Amino acid sequence: MASVSKQQKRAKRAKTKAKAQRVARQHPQTVNPIVPDYFMPDVFDDDETLLHSYVEPDILEALNEEEREAMASLIRGDAGMPFTEDEMLLTEVYLVPAPEPSEEQRLAHYEVLKRAEQQGFLDLLDAFARGPIAAHAFYDIDFDHYLDVLVNTLGAYMMWAHGLDEATVRARIDDDDFYEAFRAVLGEIEMESTMQMLGIDRNEHDEPAQD
């Protein structure tokens, strides 16, 4: 098991890369690189010089060779990275692999989801996103099969709990309102993770100012 410091480095590295990729998505590389040409002298043709100039030392130290090349290309603006918000959130939330739940664990989690669903749909999504099924399914996910993964995980619960068929479940999940709600839940979890990593007490942070 990785030490706390290594886990923190991995978390920080993943979040930094995710944020950089989000910037890249907002500024398409075919038009403008992240670093404009007039700020990039010829010496920055060298990857290491470029990285040491624009990447924090502790982040750079944690990157392997492949990640260094990708980051350098990203900074230059010559690496296409068409990541969606869903992809970025899943990458940020599910940073480490999780074991596949046993059948007993899966059914026990279904009961947790059933109780959460009684409180509301967002409560269901929150319980699902924080649970062992999602933790296993969404780590290093193949985003081309995102809908299928949702159907086979959360959708499987819906079929179990409500006797729905797969076509009905797929239609309910493959819907803008569903994606927006799940995005909001993942964003909340990502924020909690970031605040925890930075040592911020959210309860204290959210308390209204006293007169």
128 neighbors 134 (Cβ within 8 angstroms): yes
Count helices and strands in the chain by DSSP H and E runs: 12, 0
Q: Which amino acid is at 35?
A: V
132 neighbors 100 (Cβ within 8 angstroms): no
Is residue 139 over pLDDT 50?
Answer: yes
Q: In this predicted structure, what is the pLDDT of residue 155?
A: 98
Q: In this predicted structure, what is the pLDDT of residue 137?
A: 97
- CA 29/CA 74 separation, integer angstroms: 8
pTM exceeds 0.85 for this model: no
Is residue 205 over pLDDT 80?
Answer: no
Q: Which amino acid is at 168?
A: T
- For the chain, strand residue ranges (E) read none
Q: Which of 9-13, 125-129, 153-157, 179-183 is the least confident region?
A: 9-13
Nearest to 143 by CA among 67, 84, 96, 184: 84
